[in-house]
Amino acid sequence: MTEQEIFDKVKDIVVEQLDVDADKVKMDSDIKEDLEADSLDVFEIMNELEDELDIKLEADEGVKTIKDVVDYVKKEVDAK
Amino acid sequence: METIKVVKTAHYVPSKVVTNDDLSKIMDTSDEWISSRTGIKQRHISIEENTSQLCTNVAEQLLEKSGWDAESIDLLIIATMSPDSYTPATAALVQGNIGAHKALAFDISAACSGFIYGLNVAEKFMVSSGSSCKRVMLIGGEVLSKVIDWTDRTTAVLFGDGAAGVLLEQNEEDSSCFVSSSLHTYGEQGDKLEAGKTDALSSFPTAGDHKIKAFSMSGRDVYKFATHKVPVSIEEAVEKAGLTLDQIDYFVLHQANSRIVTQIAKRLDQSLAKFPMNIAKYGNTSAASVPLLLDELVSNKAIKRGQIIAMSGFGGGLTVGTQIIKY
């Protein structure tokens, strides 16, 4: 998967889970500050990514921005 | 389908109410943090009364509401993860307290699924061939406050004390029945939610300082378990019953976290209006939560005779269970 494909996937899930406009979700968006997610929202985003991409993610991996999520997912997908 | 009727329901909670603001005075938390992440506003905390006493209060209410003689109870089950002692069983204490001398009495330990597991066990007793078990008292009761680490803000804010239960009767004439069920246990994930853990002796002879450990929980793992396995359990039970999800009038789910319930409704593509909640008032009362909600819905006439109700519990074990009844 390319970084763009992963970003699109993350964006879809974030839009669905957080009920935010798609154009608000950018690589440098801070998940908690800019997108107003709390810890359970992050759980749910990680859970959805795990299910859809068949990977295992730790919630406390220190992800802060969308880019952090994309990088972390890319690393796990590439390692599969 | 077995013609088993939920004859009466009742609940009891201890009088002391502890609000989120009260907790924010003893630990680093806030009403906003707790209520937005869990839906909990307050919980009842038991002072002096142990689990058997909360359950005895419920048992007495059930007898009074039904007019049944305590001697007519054949089976008395208490679902609890916070019993008074290892032995005697809390159910035995309650049996003695109310004078249900003919009742076989024991506890079920399946944490937040305990009430659902109890319904299943009761059904098996009642329908086995040649069984003389016609009347069952099933109560879920917890004093979780005694196994909470009151300095751990990640778990202390979640739980409350209470008890609630039902009287069940087998009656061929009645249209009320147990429709279907689906129970699963995932023991390999047992360490994700622990309370009251004990250690074997490290040497012998020993100074003998017995310690029991407080609640510990891997929040994300339990969250994921609940949001994934509960919908599967409900769908299995609905399919076994030959029903569709749309035919279920109410989903009475274990009240662990309003966000979990909301997510389960979403995954099942069912209106959240079919998922009543009372977690704001009581917090997570483990085995008591499903009958506590059921009793409130019956009392305020939201649930009526003839309706199809899916009850689900999920939690420590890890366990999950769904029981569908025609009320």
- The answer to whether residues B130 and B250 belong to one domain is no
A-chain residues within 8 Å CB-CB of B224?
Answer: 43, 47
pLDDT-derived band at A47 (thresholds 50, 70, 90) equals confident
- The answer to whether residues B14 and B158 belong to one domain is yes
- Residue B17: the pLDDT is 98
CATH number of this structure's domain A3-79? 1.10.1200.10
> Is the pLDDT assigned to residue B240 strictly greater than 90?
yes
Which strands form B250-253's sheet, in the order they lie side by side? B177-185, B319-326, B308-315, B250-253
In A, minimum Cα distance to B37 occurs at A40
Strand partners, B320: B184, B314
- The answer to whether residues B215 and B161 belong to one domain is no
Whole-number Å distance between alpha carbons of A31 and A7: 14
- The answer to whether residues B263 and B142 belong to one domain is no
The answer, yes or no, to whether the previous bond of B14 is cis (omega within 30 of 0) is no
Quick check: A59 and B37 CB within 8 A?
Answer: no
Whole-number Å distance between alpha carbons of B319 and A72: 31
In B, minimum Cα distance to A58 occurs at B220
- The answer to whether residues B35 and B57 belong to one domain is yes
> Is the pLDDT assigned to residue B173 strictly greater than 80?
no
pLDDT-derived band at A80 (thresholds 50, 70, 90) equals confident
B-chain residues within 8 Å CB-CB of A47?
Answer: 223-224, 227-228
3-class DSSP state of B88: coil
Q: Which residue segment(s) compose the domain that B164 sits in?
A: 4-175
Annotated domain spans of chain A = 3-79
Whole-number Å distance between alpha carbons of B76 and B135: 9
B-chain residues within 8 Å CB-CB of A59?
Answer: 220
Of all residues in chain B, what percent carry a pLDDT higher than 90?
89
pLDDT-derived band at B209 (thresholds 50, 70, 90) equals confident
Q: Which residue, of B124, B155, B175, is where some domain finishes? A: B175
- The answer to whether residues B186 and B317 belong to one domain is yes
Q: Which residue, of B175, B207, B222, is where some domain finishes? A: B175
Considering only A76-80, B50-54, B249-253, B296-300, which range has the smallest mean pLDDT?
A76-80
Helices A39-53 and B219-240, axial angle in degrees (round to 10): 60
Structure tokens at B30: 């806030």
Whole-number Å distance between alpha carbons of B145 and B54: 13
- The answer to whether residues B270 and B311 belong to one domain is yes
**Is B262 within 8 Å of B40 (Cβ atoms)?**
no
- The answer to whether residues B23 and B166 belong to one domain is yes
* Structural domains in chain B (count): 2
Here the CATH number for the domain that contains residue B84 is: 3.40.47.10
- Mean pLDDT, residues B192-221 taken together: 87
- The answer to whether residues B65 and B109 belong to one domain is yes
Cα B255 → chain centroid? 9
The answer, yes or no, to whether the previous bond of A49 is cis (omega within 30 of 0) is no
Mean of the per-residue pLDDT values of chain B = 95
- Mean pLDDT, residues B67-76 taken together: 97
